[in-house]
């Protein structure tokens, strides 16, 4: 199988993964999930006409100055705080003190804000003429009964949680979160809490992948470490089939002990690609094993992370029902010269700052694909197209921001 472009590879991945169904969850647990039903309002919001201000409910016609120029004074007959209903009907010449959110008393057709009045015992002086309807929030002004309020497919954020709460919803149908199994391969690997014996290193990829999966809304399942032995890898791989997607880390390159590709083939995996024209992350396999997506990720931690970001995350997003699957590239000014070998898309770990609304970026350290430290010092990736060999200081580049907030 020949090397394919990053763009083609992403198309292939997205074409081959599907949504995995939906489930009912409590509204408070639906944050960051995708709505799997249309939400219609069963009632009006607000449920009654109410005051938008602290002030006095009255008849707008009572706020007009008489031709003789006498001051306008009304009798205050009641007091309605929010949460209560006035017991009296309002008639001409009367006012009811009202707080924001309280229901408009019967007979009133406007609310004058307290700042435009003077209170004198049980009388209130009106300092401003207002029109009918002033400061009244009408029944159903936010949402009318029967309205389609939130459409299927929307990503649920605190605003949507609030809408669901105001509509009295307790449960909501959302897309399922895909379960993603992780298998690390390599005779050299030991668990992070193990002592290192000669020749061994700690398995960092499983922990990275586990948390990358969590961050994009998947449910990680750690299958542990398989040594570089076909039988063991096969067994563990098969145990991962209970998940919705499988990630195999390492063993996918061309070394003598890189067995994963052959094992996947033996298990009947329909391989879609094996090598992608990108750096880091060239060895990257993708296929369908018994209909489930499987990624063979490069063993080098940074290659694995970058490949996850470019392919696995969009796949998890699609499986979770999310519509927007790619971090948009934005413009930045590069603060030093960068030299690269053309022929592959490059993802340069970079530290980006924002100054006066403009992004400035520079490589965050040595770019070897095993050097996790410069990934830790990066908050973004500079994305350089295939045909480039040199980027001059102060020129414009595209970056992909990795953090939610630049730090």
- Name the binder of 203 from ligand AMP, Mg ion, none, CB < 5-8 A by kind: ligand AMP
50 touches ligand AMP (CB under 6 A): no
- Name the binder of 298 from Mg ion, ligand AMP, none, CB < 5-8 A by kind: ligand AMP
Give the integer Cα–Cα distance in Å for 366 and 289: 36
- Name the binder of 189 from ligand AMP, Mg ion, none, CB < 5-8 A by kind: ligand AMP
240 touches ligand AMP (CB under 6 A): no
Minimum CB separation of residue 250 from Mg ion in Å reads: 4
251 touches Mg ion (CB under 5 A): yes
Minimum CB separation of residue 221 from ligand AMP in Å reads: 16
CB contact set of 397 (below 8 Å; sequence gap of 6+): 331, 332, 333, 334, 361, 382, 383, 384, 391
3-state SS assignment for residue 136: strand
- Name the binder of 300 from Mg ion, ligand AMP, none, CB < 5-8 A by kind: ligand AMP
**Rg for the chain (alpha carbons), in Å?**
31
With beta carbons less than 8 A apart as the criterion, state whether 215 and 404 touch. no
Size of the site for Mg ion (CB under 5 A): 4
Using alpha carbons, list the distances in angstroms from residue 402 to 14, 235, 280, 351, 381. 21, 35, 16, 10, 7
* Only segment of 65-73, 295-303, 307-315, 391-399 that touches ligand AMP (CB under 6 A): 295-303
302 touches ligand AMP (CB under 6 A): no
Running DSSP on this structure, what letter comes out for residue 105?
P
* Only segment of 29-37, 298-306, 357-365, 386-394 that touches Mg ion (CB under 5 A): 298-306
With beta carbons less than 8 A apart as the criterion, state whether 276 and 303 touch. no
Minimum CB separation of residue 38 from ligand AMP in Å reads: 43
Q: Write out the H or E segment, with its range, that includes residue 302.
A: helix 301-307
186 touches ligand AMP (CB under 6 A): yes
Minimum CB separation of residue 307 from ligand AMP in Å reads: 11
Minimum CB separation of residue 272 from ligand AMP in Å reads: 19
Nearer to ligand AMP among residue 44 and residue 204 (C-beta): 204
With beta carbons less than 8 A apart as the criterion, state whether 119 and 21 touch. no
250 touches Mg ion (CB under 5 A): yes
CB contact set of 15 (below 8 Å; sequence gap of 6+): none
* Only segment of 49-57, 143-151, 248-256, 317-325 that touches Mg ion (CB under 5 A): 248-256
The alpha carbon of residue 148 and the mean position of all alpha carbons in its chain are separated, in whole angstroms, by: 23
Give the integer Cα–Cα distance in Å for 8 and 15: 10
Residues near ligand AMP (CB under 6 A) = 184, 186, 188-189, 201, 203-206, 249-253, 255, 258, 298-301, 370
């Amino acid at each position: 199988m020949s090397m394919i472009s990053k763009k083609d590879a992403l198309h292939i991945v997205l074409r081959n993964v599907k949504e995995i169904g939906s489930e009912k969850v409590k509204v408070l647990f639906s944050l960051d999930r995708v709505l799997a039903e249309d939400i219609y309002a069963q009632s009006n919001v607000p449920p009654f006409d109410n005051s938008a201000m602290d002030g006095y409910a009255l008849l707008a016609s009572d706020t007009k100055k008489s031709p003789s120029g006498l001051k306008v004074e009304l009798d205050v007959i009641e007091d309605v705080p929010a949460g209560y209903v006035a017991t009296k009907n309002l008639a001409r010449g009367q006012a009811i003190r009202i707080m924001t959110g309280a229901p408009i008393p019967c007979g009133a057709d406007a609310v004058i804000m307290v700042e435009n009045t003077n209170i004198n015992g049980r009388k209130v002086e009106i300092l401003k003429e207002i029109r009918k309807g002033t400061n009244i929030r009408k029944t159903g002004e936010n949402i009318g009964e029967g309205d389609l309020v939130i459409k299927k497919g929307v990503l649920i954020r605190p605003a949507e949680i609030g809408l669901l709460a105001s509509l009295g919803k307790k449960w909501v149908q959302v897309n399922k979160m895909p379960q993603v199994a992780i298998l690390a391969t390599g005779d050299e690997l030991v668990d992070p809490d193990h002592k290192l014996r000669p020749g061994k290193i700690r398995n960092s990829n499983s922990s990275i992948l586990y948390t990358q999966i969590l961050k994009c809304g998947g449910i990680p399942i750690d299958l542990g470490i398989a040594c570089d032995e076909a039988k063991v890898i096969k067994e563990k791989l098969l145990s991962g089939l209970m998940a919705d997607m499988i990630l195999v880390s390492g063993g996918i390159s061309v070394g003598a002990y890189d067995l994963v590709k052959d094992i996947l083939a033996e298990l009947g995996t329909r391989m879609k690609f094996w090598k992608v024209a990108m750096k880091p992350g060239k060895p990257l396999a993708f296929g369908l094993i018994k209909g489930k997506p499987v990624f063979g990720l490069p063993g080098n931690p940074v290659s694995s992370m970058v490949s996850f970001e470019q392919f696995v995350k969009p796949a998890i997003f699609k499986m979770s029902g999310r519509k927007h699957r790619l971090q948009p590239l934005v413009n930045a000014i590069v603060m030093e010269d960068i030299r690269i070998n053309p022929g592959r898309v490059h993802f340069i770990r970079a530290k980006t700052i924002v100054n006066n609304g403009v992004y400035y970026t520079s490589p965050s350290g040595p770019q070897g694909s095993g050097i996790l430290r410069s990934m830790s010092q990066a908050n973004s990736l500079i994305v350089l197209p295939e045909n480039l060999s040199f980027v001059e200081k102060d020129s414009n580049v595209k970056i992909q921001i990795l953090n939610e907030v630049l730090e």
